[in-house]
């Protein structure tokens, strides 16, 4: 058997290993759940723990669906406030009131005996509804009972319900006696965007209880009022909450007017819920993709005008849901989630950062609270007056959870059933006598896509589009190369909007474009690997003879092998042709992540809905590019051990991954190095294992992948087959031509010693210069090795 150096032996399997590593790398990016990066421990700011009783049956009864979309509540005219009323984070002064309490409205009021009027409609845009949202309200804190999207649905089924991004959540929690017996149950309720209460001169007044009566009454659709009085029954503060929808926008204006009804100034701070957990959806690759998101304004030294809103995919700006939720603790025989503060936290305070917006996202949707700059005074501390983008309505931001479960529940069950909400405490607002202050809030509730956020100038001003990131987070956040992903997303959208008008075809054209741009690198890489494989195969018999002759003298054998390689003009740097594959991996990984998170692919049929059209919309095959291809839909969820933990439930027969396995088989015939007679049985077995893993295991792992990703992988592999075949044919032609030229030179006597032929000097290309540098480095290493051997021999 011919002797092979470690480098040569490694080459025999290096190509399939690299291909496998690339495939495994993509798969790891796909299945890696969010990391466990913990946020910096937040600063503490005391806020009372609030318990919200359950609403009455009458208050929970749904309102009848309107026959026509109601007009959004008229947007209140902004009230100009003096500069001294700009909210600041100052400690509230001691209350000058002995007792303050919310005034319950009479239960005989006809408004209380009926549900609040919805705002908006579930009629889709195609039916002439200009409003994209429907809000149904709760009597608890005048919050949102449900927030539904009028033109987006949970599936492509024609009878599928509307997508609901926010929903009032309620659980019944047991109360135990000393012996551990359940003696009663209490209700805990979280109502999104409910006003929990206000601080007035440091005294907290609750606004969510329903006893002795409801505290909020409806003035108009989407407009609610509450009154707070002192011990003598004199009105002190009137709070008016107005929800306003804008036609064609997913942004909600929540104007909260705080009217001082006394003859003395008041310091008021509002406490309310923000968004609560979005639907997790079907958990497939990547696990739970819900996240807590933040965006900041830098300090005035870095950004003097306080204009640029900054966010990103790091652990400060994007916190996985599991990290934000935290772990439950065992408290008094029950599981509980301690409250957690997220803003302000020490590092941001030290750096002089200001919160601009905060929100919750899942794979495709987002609900975020943000500043409305034109609803508050301009800043005058930045040189020239500038819009104030600081989120004063969330000067303090906490995470609260419906946090108790029976003692016999396991902690993982508690985690699965926990409901997380953000609680916002506004900055203190100084309100002069008989005047008003505001704690205005913007709420974006819609697709997590720049196509929608950038359509609203106010959202562009606040940088809400920064919520769009194409990454799974966690340890793989860095390897999805966001600038490349954004560029690819722009090009994909350009192809769809202006060239092909179909997302599936746009993905195919995108992959063709990327492969074309990378072709020079691919061609150089594969040509080097092909030539090196041929050279090593031709050299194998001579290596075997040298091993028979010098097998007992390893030093001499290495020397003779090096001489042979030099005589035959074979260089190990040819094996490095596979290294440029790694240069291409960032592009393919970024392309993969971009396709996975692109909202516009959700519920989009492939190839202009061809398969749905020929079946009368009864065939689900390629009906949703964001879901598996569903050649046959089982209409049930099968949980297969191990596999379902990686890719979610199996709910249909998907044929694209099976076709992909066939494509991978043919691709292996062109990508793997040629088998030579010098390969050992172990090396041949390793190569076969690599082929099996690529042909079988990878399609299995991709079984539940979105159809868009399957099209991407198939297109890439098919192009790779033709590209590899063309490159090998070109190499064969060039080698044949080179051999023919050598024979011609020899026949003409041009190869005799001393014969010179003038040659046109040609500047080497980039890849040739890289290879020359590698060869020079290898020669240097060889010289150093020989010098070390000589010194060692002299020492003997």
pLDDT in tens, 174-202: 555 556 566 666 667 889 999 999 999 98
Task: For the chain, state the CA radius of gyration.
Answer: 34
18 shares its domain with 63? no
Per DSSP, what are the bridge partners of residue 334? 331
678 shares its domain with 692? yes
pLDDT in tens, 642-664: 777 778 888 889 999 999 888 88
Is residue 197 classed as helix, strand or coil in its secondary structure?
Answer: strand
* Whether the Cβ atoms of residue 135 and residue 118 lie closer than 8 Å to each other: yes
CA distances from 716 to 54, 516, 656, 727 (A): 55, 11, 14, 16
* Whether the Cβ atoms of residue 274 and residue 465 lie closer than 8 Å to each other: no
Higher pLDDT, 377 or 59: 377
The average confidence (pLDDT) of the chain is 78
If you ran DSSP here, which 8-state letter would residue 168 be given?
Answer: -
Helix (H) or strand (E) holding 266: strand 266-276
What count of residues does the chain have? 796
658 shares its domain with 634? yes
425 shares its domain with 519? no
3-state secondary structure 588-652: HHHHHHHHHHCHHHCCCCCHHHHHHHHCCCCCCCCCCCCCCCCCEEEEEEECCCCHHHHHCCEEE
- DSSP code string of 318-359: EEEHHHHH---EEETTEEE---EEEES-HHHHHHT-EEEEEE
pLDDT in tens, 688-727: 777 777 788 888 888 999 999 999 989 998 998 888 888 8
626 shares its domain with 658? yes
610 shares its domain with 703? yes
666 shares its domain with 539? yes
* Whether the Cβ atoms of residue 215 and residue 226 lie closer than 8 Å to each other: yes
- Output the six-digit token pair for 230: 């002192």
* Whether the Cβ atoms of residue 630 and residue 652 lie closer than 8 Å to each other: yes
In a domain, 555, yes or no: yes
In a domain, 219, yes or no: yes
Higher pLDDT, 680 or 353: 353
Give the range of the structural domain holding residue 643, as residue numbers without chain letter: 6-29+502-743+773-778
Structure confidence at residue 88 (pLDDT): 42
245 shares its domain with 382? yes
Residue finishing a domain among 445, 468, 491: 468
pLDDT in tens, 111-160: 444 578 999 999 988 788 899 999 999 988 999 999 999 999 999 988 89
- Output the six-digit token pair for 559: 């020397």
- CB-based contacts of 135, cutoff 8 Å, min separation 6: 118, 119, 120, 144, 146, 147, 222, 243, 245, 252
In a domain, 790, yes or no: no
- Output the six-digit token pair for 326: 């935290």
In a domain, 478, yes or no: no
Looking at the structure of the chain, the number of domains it has is 2
Band of pLDDT at residue 59, cut at 50, 70 and 90: very low
Closest CA to 546 of 162, 163, 3: 3
464 shares its domain with 552? no
pLDDT in tens, 226-237: 999 998 989 999
543 shares its domain with 400? no
CA distance 321 to 317: 13
In a domain, 422, yes or no: yes
- DSSP code string of 401-434: E---B-TTS-HHHHHHH--EEEEEEPPBEEE-TT
395 shares its domain with 506? no
In a domain, 757, yes or no: no
What is the residue whose two structure tokens read 């957990």? Answer: 277
Band of pLDDT at residue 768, cut at 50, 70 and 90: low
- CB-based contacts of 17, cutoff 8 Å, min separation 6: 690
65 shares its domain with 178? yes
- CB-based contacts of 139, cutoff 8 Å, min separation 6: 55, 56, 59, 112, 116, 210, 214, 216
In a domain, 493, yes or no: no
In a domain, 489, yes or no: no
Per DSSP, what are the bridge partners of residue 425? 271, 396
- Output the six-digit token pair for 372: 């409305």
- DSSP code string of 363-416: SSEEEEEE--GGGSPPBSSSSS-B-----GGGSEEEEEE---B-TTS-HHHHHH
């Amino acid at each position: 058997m011919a002797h092979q150096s470690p480098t040569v032996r490694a080459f025999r399997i290096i190509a399939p290993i690299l291909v496998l590593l690339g495939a495994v790398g993509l798969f790891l990016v796909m299945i890696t759940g969010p990391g466990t990066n913990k946020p910096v421990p937040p600063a503490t700011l005391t806020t009372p723990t609030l318990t919200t009783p359950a609403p009455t049956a009458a208050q929970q009864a749904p309102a009848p669906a309107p026959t026509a979309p109601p007009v959004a509540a008229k947007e209140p005219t902004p009230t100009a406030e003096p500069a001294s009323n700009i909210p600041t984070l100052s400690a509230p002064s001691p209350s000058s009131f002995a007792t303050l309490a919310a005034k319950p409205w009479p239960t005989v009021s006809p408004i209380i005996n009926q549900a609040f009027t919805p705002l908006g409609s579930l009629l889709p845009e195609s039916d002439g509804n200009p409003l994209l949202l429907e809000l149904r309200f709760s009597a608890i804190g005048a919050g949102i009972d449900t927030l539904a999207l009028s033109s987006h649905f949970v599936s492509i089924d024609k009878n599928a319900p509307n997508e609901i991004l926010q929903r009032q959540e309620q659980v019944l929690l047991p109360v135990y006696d000393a012996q551990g017996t359940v003696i009663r149950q209490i209700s805990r309720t979280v109502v999104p965007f409910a006003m929990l209460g206000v601080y007035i001169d440091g005294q907290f007044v609750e606004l969510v209880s329903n006893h002795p009566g409801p505290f909020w009454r409806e003035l108009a659709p989407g407009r609610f009022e509450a009154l707070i009085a002192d011990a003598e029954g004199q009105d002190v503060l009137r709070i008016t909450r107005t929800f306003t929808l804008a036609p064609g926008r997913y942004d909600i204006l929540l104007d909260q007017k705080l009217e001082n009804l006394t003859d003395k100034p008041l310091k008021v701070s509002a406490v309310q819920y923000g968004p609560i957990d979005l639907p997790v959806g079907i958990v497939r690759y990547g696990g739970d993709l819900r996240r807590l998101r933040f965006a900041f304004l830098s300090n005035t030294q870095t950004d003097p005008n306080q204009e640029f809103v900054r966010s990103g995919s790091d652990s400060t700006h994007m916190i996985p849901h599991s990290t934000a939720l935290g772990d439950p603790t065992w408290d008094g025989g029950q599981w509980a989630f301690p409250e957690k503060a997220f803003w302000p936290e020490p590092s941001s305070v030290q750096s002089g950062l200001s919160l601009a917006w905060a929100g919750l996202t899942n794979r495709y949707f987002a609900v975020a609270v943000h500043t409305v700059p034109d609803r508050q005074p301009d800043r005058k501390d930045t040189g020239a007056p500038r819009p104030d983008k600081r989120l004063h309505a969330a000067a303090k931001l906490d995470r609260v959870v419906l946090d108790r479960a029976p003692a016999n529940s396991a902690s993982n069950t508690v985690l699965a059933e926990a409901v997380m909400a953000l609680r916002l405490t506004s900055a203190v607002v100084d309100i002069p006598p008989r005047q008003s202050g505001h704690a205005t809030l913007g709420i974006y509730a819609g697709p997590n896509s720049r196509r929608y956020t950038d359509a609203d100038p106010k959202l562009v001003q606040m940088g809400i589009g920064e919520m769009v990131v194409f990454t799974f987070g966690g340890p793989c956040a860095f390897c999805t190369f966001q600038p490349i992903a954004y560029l690819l997303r722009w090009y994909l959208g350009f192809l769809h909007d202006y060239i092909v008008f179909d997302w599936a075809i746009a993905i195919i054209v995108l992959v063709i474009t990327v492969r074309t741009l990378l072709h020079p690198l691919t061609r150089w890489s594969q040509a080097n690997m092909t030539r090196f494989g041929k050279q090593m195969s031709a050299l194998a018999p001579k290596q075997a003879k040298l091993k028979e002759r010098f097998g007992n003298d390893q030093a001499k054998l290495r020397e003779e092998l090096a001489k042979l390689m030099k005589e035959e003009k074979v260089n190990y740097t040819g094996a490095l042709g596979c290294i440029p594959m790694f240069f291409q991996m960032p592009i393919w990984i970024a392309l993969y992540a971009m396709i996975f998170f692109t909202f516009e692919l959700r519920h989009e049929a492939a190839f202009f809905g061809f398969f749905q059209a020929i079946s009368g919309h009864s065939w689900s095959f390629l009906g949703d590019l964001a879901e598996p291809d569903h050649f046959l839909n089982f209409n049930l969820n099968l949980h297969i051990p191990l596999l379902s933990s990686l890719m979610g439930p199996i709910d249909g027969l998907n044929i694209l991954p099976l076709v992909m396995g066939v494509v991978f088989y043919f691709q292996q015939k062109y990508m793997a190095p040629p088998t030579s007679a010098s390969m050992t049985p172990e090396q041949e077995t390793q190569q076969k294992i690599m082929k099996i893993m690529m042909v079988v295991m990878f399609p299995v792992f991709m079984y539940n992948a979105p159809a868009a990703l399957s099209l991407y992988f198939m297109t890439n592999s098919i192009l790779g087959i033709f590209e590899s075949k063309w490159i090998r044919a070109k190499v064969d032609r060039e080698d044949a031509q080179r051999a023919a030229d050598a024979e011609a030179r020899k026949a003409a006597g041009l190869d005799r010693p001393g014969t010179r032929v003038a040659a046109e000097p040609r500047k080497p290309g980039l890849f040739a210069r890289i290879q020359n540098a590698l060869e020079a480095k290898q020669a240097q290493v060889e010289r150093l090795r020989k010098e070390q051997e000589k010194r060692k021999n002299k020492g003997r």
